[in-house]
Amino acid sequence: MRLYDIILSSRLKEFEKRLLEMQISNLWYVTELTQCPKKHVFRVQYPHLKLANIVNARLLLGDIIHNGLEVLIAFRIPEARIEQEIEKKVKLKAYPNADFIIKGRADIVTEHYVYEVKTIKSINNDRKLPLDHHVQQLLAYLDLFNKDYGRIVYVVLNEGKILEYDITREKELTVEDMLLEQLERLRNKDYPIEEWECNYCIYKDVCDRVIE
């Protein structure tokens, strides 16, 4: 069996396992706290559109790199937990009749650190690393796992580089704050957060607020 087939089969099984979960409207994934909030709505309405990412060759390559780094770190740091899932039930004063769940899967969690591994094609001089939404995602994990320190690891394919950025927890920023901000953005139709998001969005063909 080809390596591609093995990885694709694994990704499809993961998708099938999560399909029902993806249709739960009060469930927010950590990644959705840092992206255009309309993606959350479309994920619930059109979960099968996520299949477009399953067969994306660049994302498959990212999976291979992720897995390789995770195995290496697990070998070097025995206490490291790989692809550590976490879930938190959340109540917001602004939405007293609603119960929310925030769920995520951090790449690597050690005694003191949370690591997030990102694969990017090249270094874009117009967008300084670390990217803001990646920092926000890591800050959410630091809050969820109650860790003070994190590190974003960028694997830059075209330049053949590995860049690392240390991030310190901002204790005044919580996942509850991030969720509330996203809900307010949805209510006020204040999205996308960044104009470039539309260019890479799998939902742009069903969205009425695409920015070209």
DSSP 131: P
Q: What pLDDT score was predicted for residue 151?
A: 97
Q: What pLDDT score was predicted for residue 81?
A: 92
C-alpha distances out from residue 123 to 31, 98, 200, Å: 22, 41, 17
With tokens 């994190």, the residue in question is: 150
- Are 82 and 107 in contact, with CB atoms under 8 Å apart? yes
- Are 137 and 30 in contact, with CB atoms under 8 Å apart? yes
The tens-digit pLDDT sequence of the chain (212 residues) is 787 788 788 888 989 989 999 999 999 999 999 999 999 999 999 999 988 888 777 777 788 888 888 888 888 888 899 999 999 999 999 999 999 999 999 999 999 999 999 998 888 766 789 999 999 999 999 999 999 999 999 999 889 899 999 999 999 999 999 999 999 999 999 999 988 899 889 999 999 887 66
Peptide bond into 78 cis (omega under 30): no
Residue 9, number of CB atoms within 10 A of its CB: 11
pTM above 0.85, yes or no: yes
All domains of the chain, ordered by start, with CATH? Answer: 3-206 (3.90.320.10)
Q: What pLDDT score was predicted for residue 127?
A: 75
Phi/psi-derived region of residue 180, left when phi > 0, alpha when psi is between -120 and 50, beta in every other case: alpha
Q: What pLDDT score was predicted for residue 55?
A: 75
Average pLDDT, the chain: 91
Q: What pLDDT score was predicted for residue 91?
A: 96
Q: What is the pLDDT of residues 75-126, one digit of tens each?
A: 888 889 999 999 999 999 999 999 999 999 999 999 999 999 999 888 876 6
Q: What pLDDT score was predicted for residue 123?
A: 86
Q: What pLDDT score was predicted for residue 126?
A: 63
Q: What pLDDT score was predicted for residue 202?
A: 92
